[in-house]
Amino acid sequence: MTQPVRVRFAPSPTGPLHIGGVRTALYNYLFARKHGGKFLLRIEDTDQKRYVPGAESYILRTLEWLGLSYDEGPNVGGDFGPYRQSERSALYRKYAEQLVQSGKAYYAFDTPDELDAMRAKLQQAKAASTSYTSAVRLQMKNSLSFSPADTDAWLQSGKPYVIRLKVDPGEEIVFRDLIRDEVRFVTDLLDDKVLIKADGLPTYHLANVVDDHLMQISHVIRGEEWLPSTAHHVLLYRAFGWEATMPVFAHLPLILKPNGKGKLSKRDGVKFDMPVFPLSWDGASPEESFKGFREYGFYPEAVINFLALLGWHPEDDREVFDLSDLVEAFSLRRVQKSGAIFDYEKAKWFNKQYLLRKTPEELARELEPLAAAKNYDVSGDYLKQVAVLMQPRVDFVKDILEDGYYFFEEVKTYDRKAVKKRWKPEKQALLDELADVLEGVDRFLARYIEPAVKAWMEQRELGPGAVFPLVRLALTGSLKGPGVFETMEVLTQYVTVRRLREAGSKLNPIPESVS
């Protein structure tokens, strides 16, 4: 690449950052780092009606949590600032007026009611388009249909007006997309997009093009939903005479619902009980509040890894990549055109891979505040022991305490089906006998417990199926869990023996707390 790579992530602070936006940020970051370029953050906050307080800081916290550092942006500066569009308003007005003077744009004075009437008339006539196009512009109120004197009078009157792009019919727009190859549009049905709104602020289309040009953006990597708008953006580059420095476009595929039917939405998080935002968001109402990946218990590295493969495929069969690996392997030419299905189970699988990489010491440190929140008064060494046993069996660190709660408190629930199938009151005598054996083990470690128990089983001619399910029920309330002997060691001799001896009182009859 001869031109230095400069890419931007340009979110609007209108609410929490959807996971699709995070993937866009990630791909921009990876592309910039892969090619030794710059990754910019630009806040596109010109839509004041949709602006949500706190959304910008949410975006910044998200990028920080994910480790996606940017080279230029609102809080780090740079040579092309300011990086909030609300701080660049005068700039957009200047460039819009430049287009009017060159005949590429015009003033439009139509009221909302007049625009509605136009659309209704076109709809009734079954016109090919109901938009403000070249076919209707001379029938509307604008500087193309008004005399210069009437136009000046309107502008001087203080009445509201907008500036529209003048789209000439009969032209073809062709550009190359790095993901979709050659893309073509014809201008006949393209509307004369508003560039400056009645409130004086620019629309996305004008501000986006002006900023990308002035910030010397080399590649625009964004979601597929912006592909139709690119036709107008190309026309703006032509109108300004910037076509030679127009960025290369790459439009990313949609992220689809888990069932593959339609674009993933924030409501799908509630529907499928999964996060669709990186961090939690406290909205104005419960319906607008959402739990994020972080709060579900995901590691940021796992979220990055999961998102990277949601639409991009590496050249080999690897699935687990840290950020530096992704930078080395990433290529836009291996991004798919079709939508990528959001597979939450796969996301949990990725988190498990990163959890399995943790040392017992690291897990113990992560567990300490979680254990304290549950009022578990245990040592770091004890947490390490539990972590070693539970680590292969959980997807999230918090599950170590939740699934393995019986290491910290008494058994609260019992597997009803297992109890019905395995337990009879006369079995208590067998557990009492085993408790006697265990009381005789001098060093209560798994490597000494196992031979003592197996010797007793051999003497009594008992198979594993006659003993271990009962032991598991007594110790954990379930037939699942870590190895029996390792569980006994961590529980300690006292607790193990006591739970075996008290099993009957817990299970005769089957308690109401059995789940």
CA-to-CA distance for 244 and 241, rounded, in angstroms? Answer: 8
pLDDT at residue 47, as a whole number: 85
Instruction: Enter the DSSP assignment of 142.
Output: B
Q: What is the pLDDT of residues 227-249, one digit of tens each?
A: 999 999 999 999 999 999 999 99
Q: What is the pLDDT of residues 117-140, one digit of tens each?
A: 999 999 999 998 999 999 999 999
Backbone angles phi, psi at 41, to 5 degrees: -115, 125
Query: Which range, of 69-73, 301-305, 503-507, averages the lowest pLDDT?
Result: 503-507
Question: Taking the CB of residue 387, how many other CB atoms lie within 10 A of it?
Answer: 25
Please give the angle made by the CA atoms of 184, 173 and 217, to the nearest 5 degrees. 100
pLDDT at residue 514, as a whole number: 53
CA-to-CA distance for 40 and 122, rounded, in angstroms? Answer: 43
pLDDT at residue 509, as a whole number: 64
Take residue 292 and report the two structure tokens written for it.
């994020």
pLDDT at residue 310, as a whole number: 97
Active site residue 266: yes
CA 277 to chain centre: 5
Take residue 433 and report the two structure tokens written for it.
């006998």
Instruction: Enter the DSSP assignment of 186.
Output: E
Q: What is the dihedral of CA 235, 239, 242, 248, to 10 degrees?
A: 0
For the chain, give the mean pLDDT: 95
34, 141, 266, 346: the active-site residue: 266
pLDDT at residue 515, as a whole number: 54
pLDDT at residue 49, as a whole number: 86
Q: What is the pLDDT of residues 250-277, one digit of tens each?
A: 999 999 999 999 999 988 988 899 999 9
What domains can you pick out in the chain, each with its CATH number? 1-74+253-357 (3.40.50.620), 89-196 (3.90.800.10), 358-407 (1.10.8.70), 416-507 (1.10.10.350)
Take residue 36 and report the two structure tokens written for it.
């030794």
Judge whether residue 11 has pLDDT over 60. Answer: yes
Instruction: Enter the DSSP assignment of 284.
Output: S
